Amino acid sequence: MERKHLVVLSGAGISAESGLKTFRDSDGLWENYNVYEVATPEAWDANPSLVLQFYNERRDQVCKASPNKGHTLLALLDDYFDCTIITQNIDDLHERAGSEKVLHLHGEIMNARSSVNETAVYRLKPGAHIHMGDRCEWGSQLRPDVVWFGEAVTQLEPAAQIVAQADIIVIVGTSLNVYPAAGLVQYSQPEAKIYLIDPQDVYVPYLDHRVVKILKKASEGCEILLNLLLKNA
- Based on the residue annotation, tell me whether 104 is a catalytic residue of this protein: no
Q: Residues 170, 211: contact at Cβ < 8 Å?
A: no
Cα–Cα distance between 46 and 63 in angstroms, integer? 28
- Give how far Cα 119 sits from Cα of 155, 168, 221, Å: 12, 31, 37
Q: Which member of 5, 106, 129, 131 is catalytic?
A: 106
Cα–Cα distance between 170 and 222 in angstroms, integer? 9
Cα–Cα distance between 21 and 31 in angstroms, integer? 7
Q: Residues 122, 112: contact at Cβ < 8 Å?
A: yes
- In 3D space, the residue among 56, 14, 2 whose CA is nearest the CA of residue 171 turns out to be 14
Active site positions, annotated = 106
